[in-house]
Structure 1
Amino acid sequence: MLLLKPNCECCDRDLPPASADARICSFECTFCADCVDQVLNGACPNCGGNLVPRPIRPAALLAHRPASSERVLAKDGPCLERRPAA
């Protein structure tokens, strides 16, 4: 079952479970469509695999199989410049 991570690992943008802008690789690394297109050139920076639209879990099933709340962020690379200042 997909984790449905809550954020873009590049820019930290929120990606709720129903977001049509979420992209994932086969390892479930998660990025927003803007970062995939503008920074990552369609490839996951972690594994090199392609990034595709993340499936949307039906809202009725989220109560029993909730999305992850653990935020994940890239630690290096071009993504660091895309994050808001802390």
Structure 2
Amino acid sequence: MLELRPNCELCDCDLPPASHQARICSYECTFCADCAANELNNTCPNCGGELTARPIRPPHRLKLHPASTRRIIAKR
């Protein structure tokens, strides 16, 4: 089950569960589309994997499996 992390790990902008701007790697590292494309060349700085669009969980499923509230910010 994806965590659906609430923020970009690079710029800390909010990425709500329904955001089409969220990008993730296979380890669920989470970045906004702007940072992924312009700062990271769509490559995760943590694992080297591809950053791709995060799927959106349907609202009725968010009630059963809510998004994470834990914010992660990368150390530079």
Unmatched segments (≥5 aa) in structure 2: none
Number of residue pairs the alignment of both structures matches = 76
Normalised by the size of structure 2, how large is the TM-score?
0.99
Detail structure 1 runs of 4+ shifted over 6 Å in the superposition. Answer: none
Cα distance, 1:46 vs structure 2? 0.1
Mapping 1:16-31, distance limit 5 Å: 16-31=16-31
Mapping 1:6-85, distance limit 5 Å: 6-76=6-76
Aligned residue for 1:45, secondary structure, equals: coil
Aligned residue for 2:15, secondary structure, equals: coil
Deviation digits for residues 11-57 of structure 1 (CA, Å, limit 9, x no counterpart): 00000000000000000000000001110011000000000000000
Cα distance, 1:68 vs structure 2? 0.1
Alignment RMSD, CA only? 0.4
Query: Which of the two has higher C-alpha Rg?
Result: 1
Normalised by the size of structure 1, how large is the TM-score?
0.87
- Percentage identity across aligned positions? 64
Aligned residue for 1:36, secondary structure, equals: helix
| Residue type of the alignment partner of 1:70 | R
